[in-house]
Amino acid sequence: MEPIVLNHPIVEHKLTVLRDKRTGTKEFREIAGELATLLCYEAMKDADLEEVEIETPMTKMKAKKLNEQKYAFVPVLRAGLSMVDGILKVVPNAKIGHIGMYRNEETLEPVEYYFKVPKEIENREVLVLDPMLATGGTAVDAISQLKKRGVKKIKFLSIIAAPEGLDKVQKVHPDVQIYCATVDEHLNDVGYIVPGLGDAGDRIYGTK
């Protein structure tokens, strides 16, 4: 599945502010949230709606409503948390899970240190959130962990994706639709996206 890239001048503008190293923590958080809102809006384009009967001040009518129980949003710790507020602007009752993972530096195997997701996760569509799709290692592992718990429909939302990460996820999980605000040039030799925006976690939490 080809990634869906948000091609829009407003997205381009917000990315410029996010990338700029002079942008401080407050604005960085706000813009990351706004881009998550736009990604979520796009990713919910095929959302299942249910028919309900309502009454407007004028008349009765049949209308469509989103069944928010059918979805779960799962940020990958820690940078993925920056996208949650933006998601809640689109789906205010969203059920949120969390995945925490790191790679064992000797075995290179993923080690899951935290996994908590909404109940009946296997019956929900899950949208995984991570602002930087870099090597794709974490994305592949997070998606695998969800599939292991029976999740059948998964989407992956990132703000900036590297071609290397896109290739990897598409190869291992061809059924997962990726949404991103942009695709950057390449990864450097320590796995950072270029031109990118630096370390998203550090910029969100001011840890550097």
CA dist 77 and 98 (Å) reads 7
| Contact characters 144-183, ligand URA, x per CB under 6 A | ----------------------------------------
Q: Which residues contact 73 (CB under 8 A, 6 or more apart)?
A: 84, 87, 91, 94, 95, 96, 97, 126, 127, 129
Q: Which residue has the tokens 């639709």?
A: 177
CA dist 176 and 111 (Å) reads 22
Question: With binding defined as CB under 6 A, does residue 199 bind ligand URA?
Answer: yes
Query: Residue length, the chain?
Result: 208
CA dist 42 and 80 (Å) reads 18
CA dist 150 and 123 (Å) reads 8
Q: Which of 87, 132, 154, 157 binds ligand URA (CB under 6 A)?
A: 132
Preceding peptide of 118 cis, ω within 30°: no
Active-site option among 22, 46, 56, 107: 107
- As measured in angstroms, the least distance from the Cβ of 86 to ligand URA is 17
Name residue 114's beta-bridge partners.
100
Stretch that binds ligand URA, among 3-11, 25-33, 100-108, 189-197 (CB under 6 A): 189-197
Question: With binding defined as CB under 6 A, does residue 201 bind ligand URA?
Answer: yes
Q: Which residue has the tokens 């899970």?
A: 97
- As measured in angstroms, the least distance from the Cβ of 14 to ligand URA is 17
Q: Which residues contact 107 (CB under 8 A, 6 or more apart)?
A: none
Stretch that binds ligand URA, among 6-14, 52-60, 87-95, 194-202 (CB under 6 A): 194-202
| Contact characters 13-52, ligand URA, x per CB under 6 A | ----------------------------------------
CA dist 69 and 75 (Å) reads 17
Stretch that binds ligand URA, among 34-42, 94-102, 109-117, 199-207 (CB under 6 A): 199-207
Question: With binding defined as CB under 6 A, does residue 140 bind ligand URA?
Answer: no
Closest to ligand URA by CB, 72 vs 161, is 161
Give the residues lining the site for ligand URA (CB under 6 A): 79, 132, 134, 192-193, 196, 199-201
